[in-house]
Amino acid sequence: IQIGLVTRSSGWEQLCAQEGVPYSTIDLTAQSLADECSLLIVNRILSPNEGEVVEQYLRDGGAVVGYTEHLHAVAGIEGTEQDLAYVVADHNDVFPSVHLLDLGVRGIVPRGANTLRTDANTFAVAAGPLGGGYAVVLPFDVDALLHDARSANKSFYFNRDRLPSERVSLVSKGELRQLVHGAFQYLHQVRGIPYLHLWYFPRDL
């Protein structure tokens, strides 16, 4: 397992460290991605030459995850701007741990989205084959959401008439991590690579 980042990103690096998976920043002009990366994170807009390198990586059977805007025109990826209050589970096997991810952003939903649902009850995320390889295309920028410091009053489920309420982060950071975990696991599995990561609990639990 080796995850490649197109550019340095404190948010994505934090997520990789929490997962316990090796990662490094990749020079798209100097390395053979097929030999170096089990998964490529595209976390900025690519130049035309860089887009061609990523397309070749996909043709070689590689796997990519990133925001629609950053992957624009790679292997024909397009999208539609949309306000996203949240995305919610649709009982798809790709993201079994995602329940409700609060967002409150304007994003770009990829064409061909086929999993997770927006607040408008349309698909939000595209996950599956792309250009000879595999991809998970997200309708938002993960790094920007991890650095989002907005807060909001949220109610939490409880078996009483009045739900407890608390002022917390507007963006559900824990759910975002579960989404990234699901993307990493799915993309390694479809490539036939076992996905090994840190266990989430102390040793004796």
Alpha carbon distance 120, 87 (integer Å): 9
Cβ-count burial of 34 within 10 angstroms (0-12 exposed, 13-18 middle, 19+ buried)? Answer: middle
3 has pLDDT over 80: yes
Which range (13-17, 75-79, 91-95, 199-203) has the least confidence?
199-203
Return the pLDDT at 28. Answer: 85
* Residue 72 C-beta-side C-alpha neighbours within 13 Å: 14
Return the pLDDT at 169. Answer: 61
Return the pLDDT at 97. Answer: 87
> Looking at residues 181-197, what average pLDDT do you find?
90
Return the pLDDT at 158. Answer: 47
**For residue range 46-105, what is the model confidence (pLDDT) as tens digits?**
999 999 999 999 999 999 999 999 999 898 899 999 999 999 988 777 888 898 899 999
pTM for the complete prediction?
Answer: 0.87
Return the pLDDT at 166. Answer: 55
Return the pLDDT at 14. Answer: 92
Query: Sorting pLDDT into bands at 50, 70 and 90, what band is 12?
Result: very high
Return the pLDDT at 201. Answer: 64
Residue 50 is classified by DSSP as: H
Spatial neighbors of 162 by CB under 8 A, at least 6 apart, are none
> Looking at residues 183-199, what average pLDDT do you find?
87
**CA–CA distance from 204 to each of 20, 27, 86, 197 (Å)?**
19, 41, 36, 17
Three-state secondary-structure class, residue 139 = coil
Which carries the bigger pLDDT value, residue 126 or residue 194?
A: 126
Alpha carbon distance 198, 181 (integer Å): 11
**For residue range 137-181, what is the model confidence (pLDDT) as tens digits?**
999 999 999 987 776 655 555 455 555 555 556 688 889 999 999
Instruction: Tell me how many degrees the CA angle 178-146-112 measures, rounded to the nearest 5.
Output: 60
Which carries the bigger pLDDT value, residue 30 or residue 193?
A: 193
Return the pLDDT at 120. Answer: 94
Kind and range of the H or E element at 138? Answer: strand 133-138
Query: Sorting pLDDT into bands at 50, 70 and 90, what band is 35?
Result: confident
Cβ-count burial of 89 within 10 angstroms (0-12 exposed, 13-18 middle, 19+ buried)? Answer: middle
